[in-house]
Amino acid sequence: MSSPEQFPKPGQKPDSQNKAPSPGSAPPPPGISAIHVTKAREQVNLHTSGRRPPASASAVARGPERQAPVVSQNTMDIHARVPRRSAPPPPPAHTHTHTHVTKMDISVPAKSHKGDCENPQCGHCGTVIIPSPKASFPFEQNPSITVNDWSIYTMKGPILSSDELDHLNETRFDFPLPEMIFGNNYVRIVNDKSGASIDFNTLDALDSLNEVADFKVSYYKEWLSTRPKAKADAQSDADSSASAPELESVKPYDWTYSTNYEGTLHDAEFVPTEKEIPVQKLLRPDPILFFDESILFEDELGDNGISMLSTKIRVMHSCLLLLCRFFLRVDDVAFRIRDTRIFIDLESNEVLREYKIQESSYEELCSKLPRTADPKRHLRDAGWVSQNMPVTSRKIQELSSNSLKEKSGEKEEKAEATEAASS
């Protein structure tokens, strides 16, 4: 064990730096030298800098003096993560700042909502808070909101049971239904003054299917060669119809579940128009009052791809946008997307509906995949697929205002008659 006299005093250099150790002297005590500590720190710095994302050219040009200060990650205060800036000087006493803001009539839940409120507003920003699903049975959520003359209702429930599916096959549908059907899910937009509404629900979407499918699975020929009877039936059907495609679909229904669904209308009518959805208005960073999304049905096509119908809606102070998207991927065959968008200007009550179809072959879309570690993950992203597929057809319509005005007039006449009778 080393004695205290062997350690240098403060300000005194160690003896090992002044003279070389003699051959008969004992070796230095074990420990970590300052050189090893410095190299270890350099390795830690290199490892830390290597895990950071690459800096952009603008960040490099600004230099280190303009980088944001490092903030402690231990605090839970979100405001502490933002660099503090000096408060602007107060305006002079004689000046006045006028901000013209359109007053919006917002009600959460919707004015005609029944039951308890399931989507309260945030007390700080006013955004509608849709809670996480509850671990209870039966699970059901029905959030809603009213902005000016429009009320928005959404419903999310569990997958239909086998008894419910059997009932649908006996009473409404004569073909095998998708594997996962959320039959109680819907989105409903209602004009409170006129009563006109547009719905997006699962069962009405399945009513819009074609009788046969225009896609075949990638191994259709191999499947047909192993079944002589099916091959003979397909050949006889092809001979009997001159306009039939080269290979008929195996199943007698649209097994891809490609819907032609544009929504269910009640007391409303759309007419063609040349107007366009104002994309710039939707791109503004306006606060979102209400947002919800749900799946109406989904099927994996017997492990040959995916077929899914979903809805997504967001409501701002000035407008709302609803997207009902059908996404189809048949592996090694083709892709298909059918979008229905509903845009409503909540200030002017202008309603536009866009219906767009996109299709592409599997090989054509695969040729556009980026070179990444997992390039085919983009084929599962409906957004990426939509951005890289051509548009085969598109139409845009506007909600006719004539029927809305007539119904509003009828309600005003009834209200006046009620007031006259009460007086």
Nearest residue to 148 via CA among 313, 337, 289: 289
Which pLDDT score, from 0 to 100, does residue 49 have? 73
Q: Which residues contact 144 (CB under 8 A, 6 or more apart)?
A: 108, 109, 110, 113, 119, 151, 152, 153, 154
Nearest residue to 337 via CA among 258, 400, 254: 258
Backbone angles phi, psi at 235, to 5 degrees: -70, -40
Predicted confidence band at 95 (pLDDT cuts at 50, 70, 90)? very low
CA distances (Å), origin 3, targets 6, 8, 12, 29, 420 = 6, 11, 17, 12, 110
Other Cβ atoms closer than 10 A to 149? 17
Which pLDDT score, from 0 to 100, does residue 334 have? 92
Q: Which residue has the higher pLDDT, 112 or 229?
A: 112
Which pLDDT score, from 0 to 100, does residue 214 have? 75
pLDDT in tens, 347-376: 999 999 999 999 999 999 999 988 888 888
Which pLDDT score, from 0 to 100, does residue 94 have? 45
Average pLDDT, rounded, for the chain: 76
Predicted confidence band at 239 (pLDDT cuts at 50, 70, 90)? low
Mean pLDDT check: name the lowest of 84-93, 141-150, 218-227. 84-93
Using DSSP's 3-state secondary structure scheme, residue 383 falls into helix
pLDDT in tens, 260-279: 999 999 999 999 999 999 99
Contact 407, 267 (CB under 8 A): yes
Q: Which residue has the higher pLDDT, 172 or 104?
A: 172
Which pLDDT score, from 0 to 100, does residue 27 have? 61
Predicted confidence band at 60 (pLDDT cuts at 50, 70, 90)? very low
Q: d(Cα 146, Cα 113) in Å, to the nearest integer?
A: 9
Contact 257, 96 (CB under 8 A): no
Mean pLDDT check: name the lowest of 43-57, 358-372, 387-401. 43-57
CA distances (Å), origin 352, targets 35, 135, 143, 400 = 71, 38, 24, 10
> Would you say residue 165 has pLDDT above 80?
yes
Residue appearing with tokens 């009473």: 171
Backbone angles phi, psi at 212, to 5 degrees: -130, 160
Q: d(Cα 421, Cα 423) in Å, to the nearest integer?
A: 5
Contact 317, 287 (CB under 8 A): yes
Q: d(Cα 273, Cα 353) in Å, to the nearest integer?
A: 10
Whether the full predicted model's pTM is greater than 0.95, yes or no, is no
Which pLDDT score, from 0 to 100, does residue 232 have? 55
Other Cβ atoms closer than 10 A to 242? 6
* pLDDT, mean of residues 31-38: 70
Contact 108, 127 (CB under 8 A): no
Q: Which residue has the higher pLDDT, 143 or 97?
A: 143
Which pLDDT score, from 0 to 100, does residue 291 have? 93
Up-side HSE of residue 178: CA atoms within 13 Å toward CB?
26
Q: Which residues contact 107 (CB under 8 A, 6 or more apart)?
A: 145, 146, 147
Up-side HSE of residue 294: CA atoms within 13 Å toward CB?
27
